[in-house]
């Protein structure tokens, strides 16, 4: 009996715990596993965030380009006629198509002004949805360093004066650059267009290409570019054939 007790006591006293090296190895393995899991989860969340940001960017660009396309396809310019002092008061308000090349901080941030039948009455105060002067212009975004905001001004009473490039509503933010290129009847490209100038007197371009560059918040070093082209059905050559 005493021999059995002695054997049990020997077993108890001879048991050993973990050594310091074993504890350190276990802690190292645990740290590696936790780091791997953390990296996997953060990478997944980052990919989800980038995907959502890209989806928002593409949706915003699609809305902007569709709106511009509809506005330009409804562009209008008054027929040519000799104005006299007697007729001046009864003539329709003058319509014009003015595209100006503009650079801010080395970026192309063009402006465009024209008459269009694509008037949108967001405030529901106009008696009808008809002719309006539409202006695309850019303002610096005070909430985002180095960012700009694209505005669309839509005034039905454009014949009654008013400063261009004011009012309106935001078309998109996160704007890095916007470039308009205008094409004449022979396909020549121009960086600006002014229907009040002798070169393009009372004329509309045959087409307009739009290059929209939006800032990528997930990768500030790069921009995402979108491009479209619009044929103007009211260009002077076609207009004179049907008028």
Q: Which of 24-38, 53-67, 175-189 has the highest mean pLDDT?
A: 175-189
Residue 24 included in any domain: no
pLDDT digits 0-9 by tens, 97-149? 999 999 988 899 999 999 998 887 666 555 555 688 999 999 988 777 768 99
pLDDT greater than 80 at residue 80: no
154 or 125: whose pLDDT is higher? 154
15 or 226: whose pLDDT is higher? 226
Yes or no: say if 206 and 183 are a contact pair by the CB < 8 Å rule.
Answer: yes
pLDDT greater than 50 at residue 87: no
Average pLDDT over residues 217-243: 73
Average pLDDT over residues 12-28: 70
Q: Which residues contact 238 (CB under 8 A, 6 or more apart)?
A: none
Residue 125 included in any domain: yes
Residue 11 included in any domain: no
Residue 99 included in any domain: yes
Residue 163 included in any domain: yes
Residue 195 included in any domain: yes
pLDDT digits 0-9 by tens, 166-214? 678 899 988 999 999 999 999 999 999 999 888 888 889 999 999 999 9
Residue 202 included in any domain: yes
Residue-number span of the structural domain to which 124 is assigned:
51-79+92-242
- Mean pLDDT estimate for the chain: 78
Query: What pLDDT, on the 0 to 100 scale, is given for residue 190?
Result: 96
pLDDT greater than 90 at residue 69: yes
pLDDT class of 30 with cuts at 50, 70, 90:
confident
Residue 10 included in any domain: no
The number of domains in the chain is 1
């Amino acid at each position: 009996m005493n021999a059995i007790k002695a054997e049990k006591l020997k077993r108890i006293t001879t048991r050993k715990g973990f050594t310091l090296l074993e504890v350190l190895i276990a802690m190292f393995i645990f740290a590696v596993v936790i780091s791997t899991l953390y990296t996997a989860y953060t990478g997944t969340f980052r990919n989800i965030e980038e995907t959502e940001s890209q989806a928002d960017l593409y949706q915003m660009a699609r809305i902007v380009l569709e709106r511009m396309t509809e506005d330009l396809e409804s562009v209008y310019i008054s027929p040519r006629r000799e104005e006299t002092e007697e007729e001046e008061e009864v003539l329709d308000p003058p319509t014009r198509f003015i595209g100006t090349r503009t650079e801010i901080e080395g970026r192309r941030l063009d402006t465009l002004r024209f008459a269009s039948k694509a008037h949108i009455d967001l405030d529901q105060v106009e008696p009808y949805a008809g002719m309006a002067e539409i202006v695309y212009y850019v303002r610096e975004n005070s909430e985002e360093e180095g960012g700009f905001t694209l505005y669309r001004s839509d005034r039905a009473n454009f014949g009654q004066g008013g400063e261009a490039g004011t009012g309106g509503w935001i078309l998109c933010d996160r704007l890095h650059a916007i470039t308009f290129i205008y094409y004449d009847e022979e396909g020549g490209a121009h960086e600006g267009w002014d229907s009040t100038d002798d070169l393009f007197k009372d004329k509309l371009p045959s087409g307009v290409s739009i290059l929209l560059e939006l800032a990528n918040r997930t990768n500030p070093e790069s921009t995402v570019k979108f491009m479209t082209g619009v044929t103007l059905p009211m260009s002077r050559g076609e207009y004179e054939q049907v008028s």
